[in-house]
Amino acid sequence: MLSLRTAARHNGVATTTTLPRPTSAIFGPHVPHLALDARGARFGTRHLQTATVTDADIARLAAKPLHPLTLADLCKNGRPPLSTQSLLSNANFTLSILPSRLAHRIQSLRSLPYIVVANPNVNKIHNNYVHSLSTLLPYAERKIETLDEEIKFTEAMADLVQTHSNTIAILAKGFLEARKYISAEEVTKFLDEHLRARIGTRLIAEQHIALHMSSKPHNQLTDRDWHDHSESSFIGVIDTELKPAALVRSCENTVGEICELKYGVRPTIRIVGSPDATIAHIPMHIEYVLTELLKNSFRATIEAGMEKEAIEVTIAPSPPPEETSSSKPLSIDPATHTPATISTHDQGAVDLAASSSHKPTSSTSPNIRPLPSSTPGVTIRIRDRGGGIDPANLAKLWEYGFTTFNEDEIHDKTSGGGGGMAGLDVISAGAGAGSELAGLGYGLPLGRAYAEYFGGGIAVQSLWGWGTDVYLGLRGVGRVE
């Protein structure tokens, strides 16, 4: 049996990381704490091996093209518990794509005006990416061939997830403070690319951590009774039998409690269509999008005095698109129900902001498989009687709203002031009131990024003076044996 004490002996510069306790929302049910040896030593408390990141390293890795990622890629090693060979294969797949993604993000940050990058918050994000790349460089030029190496690599993944957990909030503060030195259009372009790329980076790391914890070799390193993951519907962070209706109810409870606290009332939801429909997708992604959309509908409904009118949520399984000879992955546009492609832009897999020499690519690498055209999906329509959206504000729905605040609001948000009610405004605000999205204005555009990442999308149809229909289209991973 492998002794994890050998994993504590590292060379090079040392850093320390502790992986937070996993939750069922991220890793699925019945996932124990990250304890990997028979004595219960906690995973992630040892020192990480790092290597110095040079400009040459960044240039070399950033020169590699970034390819669209499919849900099928994350499931290709089969259902847990993975064998040793499958676990090592997944580790090497993860290693093959993460270093270049981090290098692209570093170059993108360095392409910003110097005075913006010098902002302490923006600079912190830059340094976080350099740190994460330094933890991967020791593995970047070779394959992971032993369980000992896989354990060390998974510690680096845990450190990456933890290091970048607050990226959005920190970037928001940084660009608020540096707003005099960069245009709103430039920041929107940068953030749209950067935050989409961040989704994939975190997802790839989290998927390997989840598969690691439920693998056969590491299950054997503990004396605890482990859950039989072969009976679970989860493959890492992907639920192959995800029921959107259940997530709608969960998000309804969360947003409803916020509304009761702020307004004293809560609207109700009526689910129609096919509430028993299931797809294979990532619960935490869909949960984020639904929460953002329901916040908007709940707030608009209450402020229009229509809280007695139930918000109607229709769940409609999408028919599979026609077979095509194209190797490109397909998606269904939620508004027109016509096939569309998953673009490199959808996944932030381009470096448009960094350099013209880093052009997007449409080619397919051996590690990336197209999403089958027969993959089923689902369309979720959220219909409210909240009065609709002012036509003057429709064009602003997908903008990052940091430039619309006045000086007092900006100071409040960047200094962490405002107290509990300000926090509630950030949590519960929606598009139905005011001239901009409340909070920092990141909710809807980031929600759209999550929806589009795997070929879905969000479409909004507003009837001013009456209400709003929002269509959330999702693509699944298909049948997983």
What pLDDT digit, counting tens, does each position of 87-135 carry? 999 999 999 999 999 999 999 999 999 999 999 999 999 999 999 999 9
Would you put residue 416 in left (φ > 0), alpha (ψ -120 to 50) or beta?
left
Least confident of 138-152, 172-186, 198-212, 422-436: 422-436
pLDDT at 374: 52
The span from the CA of 141 to the CA of 51, in Å, is 12
Average pLDDT rounded to a whole number, residues 332-338: 41
Q: Place 251 in a pLDDT band, splitting at 50, 70 and 90.
A: very high
Q: Which CATH class is domain 235-475?
A: alpha beta
Most confident of 295-299, 337-341, 351-355, 453-457: 295-299
Q: Please tell me what DSSP assigns to residue 258.
A: H
Question: How is residue 171 written in tokens?
Answer: 């970037």
The span from the CA of 221 to the CA of 234, in Å, is 22
Q: Which residue has the higher pLDDT, 57 or 393?
A: 57
Q: Which helix (H) or strand (E) holds 270?
A: strand 269-273
pLDDT at 353: 39
Share of the chain above pLDDT 90, in %: 45
Average pLDDT rounded to a whole number, residues 454-475: 92
- CB contact at 8 A, 437 and 286: no
Q: Place 328 in a pLDDT band, splitting at 50, 70 and 90.
A: very low
Q: Place 34 in a pLDDT band, splitting at 50, 70 and 90.
A: very low
Residue 225 clears pLDDT 60, i.e. is over it: no
- CB contact at 8 A, 256 and 428: no
Question: How is residue 89 written in tokens?
Answer: 């294969």
Q: How far is CA 402 from CA 176, 254, 435, 436, in A?
A: 6, 25, 12, 9
Residue 51 clears pLDDT 70, i.e. is over it: yes
User: Does this chain's domain 4-231 share its CATH topology with 235-475?
Assistant: no
Q: Which residue has the higher pLDDT, 161 or 376?
A: 161
- CB within 8 A of 77, min separation 6: which ones? 86, 87, 89, 90, 93, 211
Residue 380 clears pLDDT 70, i.e. is over it: yes
Residue 14 clears pLDDT 70, i.e. is over it: no
The span from the CA of 375 to the CA of 475, in Å, is 7
Q: Which amino acid appears at position 166 of this protein?
A: N
Residue 275 clears pLDDT 80, i.e. is over it: yes
Q: Which helix (H) or strand (E) holds 245?
A: helix 244-263
Sorted by where each begins, the domain ranges of the chain are 4-231, 235-475
Residue 167 clears pLDDT 80, i.e. is over it: yes
Residue 42 clears pLDDT 90, i.e. is over it: no
Least confident of 254-263, 327-336, 425-434: 425-434
Average pLDDT along the chain: 75
Q: Which residue has the higher pLDDT, 171 or 372?
A: 171
The span from the CA of 111 to the CA of 128, in Å, is 16
CATH 1.20.140.20 for the 4-231 domain, yes or no: yes
Least confident of 71-75, 111-115, 415-419, 452-456: 415-419
